[in-house]
Amino acid sequence: MSTTGQSWGRYPQARQKIISISDRHAELPVFSGSALPHGNGRSYGDSCLNDGGTLLHARTMDRFIAFDPHTGVLECEAGVLFSEILDLVVPQGWFLPVTPGTKFVTVGGAIANDVHGKNHHKAGTFGCHVLSMELLRSDGTRRQCSPLQHPEWFAATIGGLGLTGLVTRATIQLRRIAGPWMSGEMHRFKNLDGFFRLSQASDRDYEYTVAWIDCASGGTGLGRGIFTRANHAPAHPDSRPNAPSRKLRVPFTPPVSLINPLSLRALNTLYFHRQRESVSHLTMHYEPHFYPLDGIGDWNRIYGPRGFMQYQCLVPPARSAACMETLVKTIAASGQGSFLAVLKQFGNVASPGMLSFPRPGATLALDFPNRGPSTLALLNRLDDIVADNGGAVYPAKDARMPGRCFKHYFPAWESFSHYIDPKFSSSFWRRVTE
Amino acid sequence: MQKVLIIGATSAIAEATARLYAARGAQLFLVARNASRLTDIAADLRVRGSQEVFQAPLDVNDLDAHAKVIEQAWDLLGKVDVVLVAHGTLPCQAQCETSVETALKEFSTNATSTIALLTAMAARFEAQREGVIAVISSVAGDRGRQSNYLYGSAKAAVSAFASGLRQRMAKLGVNVLTIKPGFVDTPMTRDFKKGALWAKPDDIARGIVRGADRGRNVMYLPSFWLPIMLIIRHIPEFIFKRIRL
C-alpha cells in the first residue's frame, strides 16, 4: 500500500510504501528500494520519512516481554509506546528514566533519536538507560547489543536514526517513584541572565528543569520567560490532583496557521503574566507536567496546511549566554517563531550514541509556522550562529538543515555510515549526505 | 477472578481483547495455530496483569483435535466465564470462484470449525449453567455481496448458528454474544485502502468486553454499522443485483 505520509511537523510530504511488522521473530519483509523503520511518527521533520521507499511500521510490534517490579527492569518490543509503559509501571511505583515532551513515542523511536528530557542534567539521554536491544539487519542477522556486547553496534544504533537496522526489542532500566505526583516551582525571569542564574541554582536539587521563553519579546523583555523546576513528590503530597480527564482535540486543519506575529505576541504576553507572583509552588500529576501538549489531540494542525518546522539547537557552555542572546534576538526581530519555545541546560552525562544530539551546553527548541522562503532563510541564519559557536542541531526535529551543517555538527557521521544497513535509508539521510 | 478462553488468540481483535481481560487480572487460556506467536502474546499478557496464562496450539480445521483442547481448557481453568471464538481468515473471493477446494476450505475455517467448537463447548456451558459464549461473526454475514460472498456465507452460517444457540442457552443462564465488526484495520485487511469507516482492533475489543459484561446479544461494532446494514439488508434484489458492493 503506497500512501502519502507526513511527520509530526506536517512538512515535508513523502510518498512511501508501508509494511506493518507485528512478529519480532520473523525475517524482514521483502521490499524494493530502501526501507526505514517507523515508530509512531512523532519526529518533526524528515528523519522518519523515506520518500519513494518503504516504511517498516513497527508500532504493531507492541508486546511487553518481561517486567520485574522489584528491580524496575522492563523488556518490551520496540513498538511499545511510552504511554503504554507509564500505564503499566506507574501504579507499580516506577517511571521512565528519561522522557521527551510527548508520551506518544515508541521505544524504538526513543532509541533511534536518543531522546532527552527535562532531567538531562541528572540522567543523560534515554540511551543511557537501555540495558540491551536486538538489532535485525536486512541480511537476516540478529545482534544482541549492549554496552558490553557488540558495543560498536550499540553506539551506532542509539541515536542512529533507524538506519542501522530494525530494533526489535529492548531492555530498559526504569526509575523508582513514590507516586504519580510532581512537586515543583515556577519562577518568572526577566531575561536570559535570569534563566542561567535559576538553572545554575536548581540543577543540583531538582531532577527536572526547563524554561519557557517568550521569543516574541524584544528590547528590555528580551529572553524573559518562566522557569520550571520539579521533583517526583513523596508518596503522600498535601494535594493530589488527578490526571486531566478532559481530552481536547484540534478537529480539523485550519486554512491558515493560527500562529502569526499578532496572535503570538498576545499569547506570549498572556502566558508570561499567568502567575501574579514571581514564584509559585505547585503539586501536579505527572501528565500535565511532562506532557502538556498530549492533552490536545492533533495540536500540530494549528499551523495550517503548510505545517511547521521545529528548530532545536544547542551551544556549548562557554558560549551559551552570549550565543543564546544572539539567537533569541534574531528570532524576536524576525517576528516568526511560536508560542512553544523551550530553553534548557544539558548536563555533562555523555550520550552513548555516535550521532546522539545532546552534549553539554544550553539547548533552545521552538516551532516556526512554515512560511516558505522567509522561514528557511531565518533558520539558515540561526544555523550560521550555531555553527560559528560550535553547536549542533537536532536531526529528529529537522526538515531543512544543509548537509554541510549536519556534517559540521556531527563529525562522527562518516564513521557512523559504515554501520548503516545497505538496504536502509531515509529522506533525512539522503538530504544531508548526498 | 474471571476465566477466559480465547480461540484464535493471535488475531488482532482477540489479542486486544485479551489485553483488556489481562489488565483485570483474568486467568487466560489461549488457543491458536502459531505456537511461537502464542508464546509472545502469553508473555505480554502476564506483564499486563493476567494471573495465569495457559496456551495450546490448535489448527481449527483439525476437527478431531478440538475435544482434547477443550477438555484441557476446562481442566486447567476449572470453569470458563467467557469464551471468545475469534479465529478466521479473509478468503480471496476470486480464488473461491475458480477453486471448489479453496471455497470449501475457507468455509471450513470460517464456519464449519466454528460450529464444531461451539457445539462441543455448548455441552460444557450447559453443565456449567453460567458464562458467556462470544463469537466473532461479521457484518459481511448479513447479506451476500459479490465482492466476498464466500466469507459472507460462512459468517451468515455463524450468525444463524449463534442465534439458535442463544435461544437454546438463554434458559440455562448462558449468554451467547454475536459480534459483527465492520472494517477493522488488522493484518487480515493489510492490503485494503483505509477510509473513515475503518476501526481499530482496540475499539472492537472494548465493545466485546462491554457486551460480555452486560449480557448483550448481537453487537455491531462500531455501532454505526447497525443502520448501514439495516439499509443494505433491505435493498430489494432487483436493485441489489444491479449495484456493486
Residue A2's pLDDT is: 61
Mean pLDDT over A226-248 rounds to: 87
Residue B189's pLDDT is: 74
Chain A residues touching residue B37 (CB < 8 angstroms): 23
pLDDT tens-digit profile of A252-272?
888 888 888 888 888 888 888
CA-to-CA distance for A149 and A345, rounded, in angstroms?
Answer: 32
Cα torsion angle, A150, A152, A153, A154, sign: positive
Are A332 and A219 contacting, i.e. CB atoms less than 8 angstroms apart? no
Task: Please give the residue of chain B at the shortest CA–CA distance from A69.
Answer: B47
3-class DSSP state for residue B2? coil
3-class DSSP state for residue B83? strand
Of the candidate ranges A63-77, A211-225, B217-231, the one whose mean pLDDT is the lowest? A211-225
CA-to-CA distance for A8 and A42, rounded, in angstroms?
Answer: 5
CA-to-CA distance for A310 and A307, rounded, in angstroms?
Answer: 10
pLDDT tens-digit profile of A164-192?
999 999 999 999 999 999 999 999 999 99
Interface test with B, best of A2, A18, A27, A64 (most B CBs within 10 A): A64
Cite the beta strand spans of A41-180 per DSSP E: 54-57, 64-68, 73-77, 94-95, 130-136, 142-145, 166-173, 175-176
**Closest-CA distance of chain B to residue A428, Å:** 27
pLDDT tens-digit profile of A136-168?
999 999 999 999 999 999 999 999 999 999 999
Collect all residues from A whose CB is shorter than 8 A from any CB in B: 1, 20, 22-25, 60, 63-67, 76, 88
A20 vs B187: CB contact, 8 Å cut-off? yes
CATH numeric code, B3-240? 3.40.50.720
A72: left (phi over 0), alpha (psi -120 to 50) or beta: left
pLDDT tens-place values along chain B, 245 residues long? 999 999 999 999 999 999 999 999 999 999 999 999 999 999 999 999 999 999 999 999 999 999 999 999 999 999 999 999 999 999 999 999 999 999 999 999 999 999 999 999 999 999 999 999 999 999 999 999 999 999 999 999 999 999 999 999 999 999 999 999 999 988 777 767 777 889 999 999 999 999 999 999 999 999 999 999 999 999 999 999 999 88
DSSP state of A294: G
Is the pLDDT at A195 greater than 80? The verdict is yes
Q: What is the mean pLDDT of chain A?
A: 93
B48 vs A25: CB contact, 8 Å cut-off? no
- Selecting from A20, A23, A64 the residue whose C-beta is nearest the C-beta of B44 gives A64
CA-to-CA distance for A97 and A175, rounded, in angstroms?
Answer: 5
Count the helices and strands in chain B (H runs, E runs).
10, 7
* pLDDT above 70: percentage of residues in chain A: 99
CA-to-CA distance for A149 and A165, rounded, in angstroms?
Answer: 17
pLDDT tens-digit profile of B173-193?
999 999 999 999 887 777 677
Are A216 and A341 contacting, i.e. CB atoms less than 8 angstroms apart? no
Report the complex ipTM.
0.90
Instruction: Give all domains of chain A, ordered by start, each with its CATH number.
Output: 64-177 (3.30.465.10), 181-400 (3.40.462.10)
B188 vs A106: which has the higher pLDDT: A106
Chain A and chain B share a number of CB contacts under 8 A equal to 30
* Domain limits, chain B: 3-240
A63 vs B36: CB contact, 8 Å cut-off? no
Active site residues of B: 151
CA-to-CA distance for A143 and A133, rounded, in angstroms?
Answer: 8
Chain A residues touching residue B187 (CB < 8 angstroms): 20, 22, 60
Residue A1's pLDDT is: 53
Is the pLDDT at A54 greater than 70? The verdict is yes
B195 touches chain A (CB under 8 A): no
B185 touches chain A (CB under 8 A): no
Bridge partners for A55 per DSSP: A18, A36
Residue A194's pLDDT is: 95
- Selecting from B36, B48, B193 the residue whose C-beta is nearest the C-beta of A64 gives B48
Which residue type, as a one-letter code, is found at position B135? Answer: V
Interface test with B, best of A63, A77, A81 (most B CBs within 10 A): A63
A23 vs B40: CB contact, 8 Å cut-off? yes
Task: Please give the residue of chain A at the shortest CA–CA distance from B11.
Answer: A22
Of the candidate ranges A186-190, A224-228, A339-343, B237-241, the one whose mean pLDDT is the lowest? A339-343
Q: Residues with Cβ < 8 Å from A181, sequence gap 6 or more?
A: A232, A233, A237, A240, A241, A283, A284, A285, A286
Residue A4's pLDDT is: 67
